[in-house]
Structures are given as C-alpha cells and as structure tokens.
Amino acid sequence: MDRRQLADFLRTRRERITPADVGLPAGHRRRTPGLRREEVAQLAFISTEYYTRLEQARGPRPSREVLAGLTRALRLSDVERDHLHHLAGAPPGPPPGPSREVRPSILALLHRLPQAAAIVLSATYDVLAWNDLAAALMEDFSALPPRDRNLVRRAFLGRRLYGASDVDEFSASAVRNLRAAAGRYPDDPEVAGLIRELLDGSEEFARLWAAHDVCAAPTPCKTFRHPVVGPVSVNCDVLDITDRDQQVVIYTADPGTPSENALRLLSVVGTQRMDSPL
C-alpha cells in the first residue's frame, strides 16, 4: 500500500468534483475546491475521521467495501478505480456497479447527429449524456440533479414520461432490464436503493418486479407529445456499449414526414421555449 500516493490521489479526485455533480447544494463560504472531506465520507458511507486519515496518509489499508464506496463517491472512471485499488494494495475485481463514465468518442458521436435526438443510458436507466436535440425533444437534462435524470423513476413515480406513446411497454421493458442489472451488480448500493425506492413507491413496479422476467424486446418506434411542436413520431434504435454496460438510444424521424419537420424546428428552437410542463 502506497499511503502517500493514495492520499494525493484521493485529494485530487475530491477537488475536481463540484457539489452539483453529486446532487449536493453548493452552500455559502465554500473555501475548498470541489467537495469537502465530510461530503466524500458521507457519499462513501464511511466516517469523516477515517477518510481524513486516508488523505493524510495515516490510514490503515482500506477494505474492498471502502474502496467501492470511494469509487462511487468520487465518480472514478474504470481506469481510476483500478489505479485506486493498486495504490491501496488490493488488486481490482469486477466493477461494483454500473459504469457512469461515457467515452469521449461516444460524446462526440452524439453531437455529430444533428438530425437525430440521442442519449446515453446506464444499465439502470440514468441519462448520462445527450445531444442538443434530445434536450429539446425530451428535457434539458443539464438543469436536473443527476438522480432526477433516471427514466425508470420518471416512469413509475408519478411524472409523465415526456408524453411518450409507449409508456406501458417502456415500463415493462425497463423492469426486466433492471432485474438483469441487479443480478450483474448485486453489491451496488445505488442499484439496491433505486429498486427499494421503486418497490415502495409504485404498486405497478412491484407487480412487474415480482414476475422475475429478465428479457425484453426493444420498442422500434414511439411518439413524443411535445408541448411546443406537437406529436413527434420517431424510430428508436439502440446501440449497445458492452464494455461500459451502456446504451446509445437514437431517435430519428422518417424523411419527408411532419415529424422530421418537427425535429428540424426543435433543432432551431432548442430548449429556449420549453416553458410548458413536461
């Protein structure tokens, strides 16, 4: 275990994260760049004293559970997670939870699709990335805290799913995929917490969850009822990013249709006139 290098690595990772990145209020008189030590400790489910000792190169060798908590709290990439484990003298095992890091090449791809709305979803339906047309068609995700960008929460916990025509089909498919994700990440507290929240808050989710189904056919097309341009019918294509357990979802309209014209209008309007509730 390299205590000095581990301490420096934790400090630099902590300082690069803003409170907004993890859904925390910025507050006043924040003197430290990034997160405070106590905030990282809270997010990692460890004591502030223990985390402080790690950053001061005085702590004992952290367990795999502590390393998993620090990986989540500091939003480490897969490469950074492995580096953290090596510094702590504990060779990395399988990822503890779904990856939330989107490859730069995928981010570039989204913005090279100006006539298509595209988003990147995690294994648990968190919207991780999006292009401008997706924000105009669905929602300005940048205005939401990360936990509110989850499509399964939106489908089951009382908020309309962007006026989509396939809410029932999406909901059933999402439960099956979430069941499979829970099997892949049995020790991830965020996955477990999401499932508990949905079971407690939605009888429909509880009913579908009890069926134990783990496969779902993709929806080939859907219609969004947009508050500004009206109904937009789109084809729905899904590209799997297997090494990250993520999906790129691409919405395109058939050429020469009113929906294609609507998407073109949205590409101009953007989110500036999205003042109607979604």
Residue 203 included in any domain: yes
Q: Could you read off the pLDDT of 104-149 as tens digits, one per residue?
A: 899 999 999 989 999 999 999 999 999 999 999 999 999 998 889 9
* 117/125 Cα distance (integer angstroms): 17
Q: How many domains are contained in the chain?
A: 2
> Do residues 82 and 170 both lie within one domain?
no
88, 123, 150 — which closes off a domain? 88
Is the same domain home to 111 and 77? no
45 lies in the same domain as 147: no
> Residue 253: which CATH number?
3.30.450.180
- Answer yes or no: do 181 and 212 share one domain: yes
> pLDDT grade, residue 76 (50/70/90)?
confident
Q: Are residues 111 and 219 in the same domain?
A: yes
**Residue 96 forms part of a structural domain:** no
Do residues 147 and 241 both lie within one domain? Answer: yes
Reference 14, options 50, 47, 52; nearest CA is 52
Tell whether 77 and 116 lie within a shared domain.
no
Query: 159 lies in which domain range?
Result: 104-269
216/128 same-domain check: yes
- Cα–Cα distance measured from residue 272 to residue 278, given in angstroms and rounded to the nearest whole number: 14
pLDDT band for position 68 (cuts 50, 70, 90): confident
Helix (H) or strand (E) holding 35: none
Residues 34 and 127 in one domain: no
Dist. CA 176–CA 246, nearest whole Å: 15
Q: State pTM to two decimals.
A: 0.69
One domain for residues 194 and 158: yes
68 and 109 part of one domain: no
pLDDT digits (tens, 9 = 90+) for 13-65: 888 888 777 777 666 666 767 888 888 898 889 999 999 999 898 888 888 88
Q: Are residues 257 and 135 in the same domain?
A: yes
Look over the chain and give the mean of its residue pLDDT values, rounded to a whole number.
87
